[in-house]
Amino acid sequence: MSSLHLSKPPDSHHRMLLYKEAGIRGAWKQWFICSLLSLLHGVISETTRALDIMAKYPLIDGHNDLALRLRIIYNNKLSRINMHNIPHVATDINRLTAGHVGGQVFAAYVLCTAQDKDAVRLTLEQIDVIRRVCTENPELELVTTAEGMRKSTKITCLIGVEGGHSIDSSLPALRMFYQLGVRSMALTHTCNTPWAESSSSFYSFYQRKSNSLTEFGKAVVNEMNRLGMLVDLSHSSWETARAVLNHSTAPVIFSHSSAYAICNNTRNVPDDLLLRLKENGGLIMVNFYRSFVACSNTTNVSVVADHFDHIKHVIGTESIGIGADFDGAQGFPQGLEDVSKYPALIEELISRNWSEEELAGVLRLNFLRVFQKVEKVRDDMQYTLPSEVEIPFLEANNSCRVILTNPVRVDSSYRNGKASLMPARAIAWFIILLVQLL
């Protein structure tokens, strides 16, 4: 006889238990698969919807510092660069296209250490490189009007100067920047100008009391209103921002700032200023830099969306835009590392029940509306003559600033390059006087 022992077949009770367990496992598997498919469908649906909305309303971003990186890495030598694929930066044409960017404000920025030195020359060079980027690549188009941005089928470029130190306290310099295509200017960067105050105290330039907005600062704002230039309050102190909101006849923008209530960095905007901004008809374009978004070194798309939700709650969606600050800062949220990743934010806002109408405004329509209002103020001031206000010499006194006077007659010994430190006649009179005193 074989030693193999055959197990006893299960009785009916055991069979019922096995069938029941199998049924539970099958139902659980079915539930899991259905839930997974539903979740995937939701994700795919949100992704598709985000891309569809962005195809209809291509994003206008309020602040990008690619020009700064082009100077730092390539010394503005565009002939050495493939603008479609640039290593070590967050912005190039391929990624702008992938991110559904339809318009970009490129910053012409120079360091605050150039203030009272060669800031104007350096700014001109940055304007030049932006103009070249946007006119030498067929996918891009340099524009100067809201209508130009609205009608273009390319990626439009608008030039903004970042920091009032770039005009060296000169309204004629401001007007010449406008003639070159500049359509926005931040009143300060991380340094005070002689006429406006920065949110930062990093630099020692013009540190004095009651410096929020001087009389010349008001003249700058007036002239920007007359020209049709967007007054940008990002980087300005809150007191300067309040003073400008009291004074400007045109809407203003914060081109790359976030909500102070979510991250208490002074570069961000507190709720009382948000309310004033809404009254002004202006725009806050949310910054993505992690130190302004999360006040820490790590963050994600969800925390960025919290800023949008908060501002929406305080002043509504009509006053919100996007100003990511790519290539101006180092360190962006996971999932928003470069200009190709904007759809991730729109997906997140869709998941928070933002409507297509609200997203259309955030993506581009709000900026176009504000820009058009600024142009309307310009048109209303068309018979106002250019301002001839000059800053008082003592307010902008520095070693590179001269008082313009008639030329002084120079001794021939100076002209031939053989001048001594003191003319001989003066030395003789000095010796005679000294002898008499002794």
Identified catalytic residue from 61, 92, 116, 162: 162
Which H/E stretch holds residue 162?
strand 155-162
Crossing angle of helices 238-247 and 271-280, in 10° steps, is 20
> Is 162 annotated as catalytic?
yes
> Is 84 annotated as catalytic?
no
The amino acid sitting at 343 is P
Compute the distance between CA of residue 121 and CA of residue 78 in angstroms, rounded to an integer. 19
Identified catalytic residue from 100, 165, 235, 307: 235
> Is 239 annotated as catalytic?
no
Identified catalytic residue from 61, 65, 168, 197: 65
The amino acid sitting at 140 is L
> Is 52 annotated as catalytic?
no
> Is 272 annotated as catalytic?
no
280-298 burial string, b = 16+ CB within 10 Å, else e?
bebbbbbbbbbbbbbeeee
DSSP β-bridge partners for residue 286 = 322
> Is 256 annotated as catalytic?
yes
Asked whether 258 and 235 are in contact (CB, 8 A), the reply is no
Compute the distance between CA of residue 99 and CA of residue 59 in angstroms, rounded to an integer. 8
Identified catalytic residue from 61, 63, 310, 327: 63
Identified catalytic residue from 100, 168, 223, 256: 256
Identified catalytic residue from 92, 116, 141, 189: 189
DSSP 78-133: GGG--TTS-TTSS--HHHHHHTTEEEEEEEEE--GGGTTTTHHHHHHHHHHHHHHH
* Alpha helix segments (H runs only) across 196-335: 215-227, 238-247, 271-280, 290-293, 301-315
β pairing state of 59-64 and 140-142: unpaired
Tell me the torsion sign for CA atoms 65, 204, 168, 120.
negative
> Is 215 annotated as catalytic?
no
Specify the residue for token string 């903004």: 160
- Other beta carbons within 10 angstroms of residue 54's beta carbon come to 21
Asked whether 322 and 359 are in contact (CB, 8 A), the reply is no
Among candidates 280, 284, 285, 233, which has minimal Cα distance to 377? 280
Identified catalytic residue from 325, 338, 348, 358: 325
Compute the distance between CA of residue 314 and CA of residue 276 in angstroms, rounded to an integer. 11
54: CB partners within 8 A, 6+ apart: 100, 342, 343, 346, 363
Catalytic center residues: 63, 65, 162, 189, 235, 256, 325
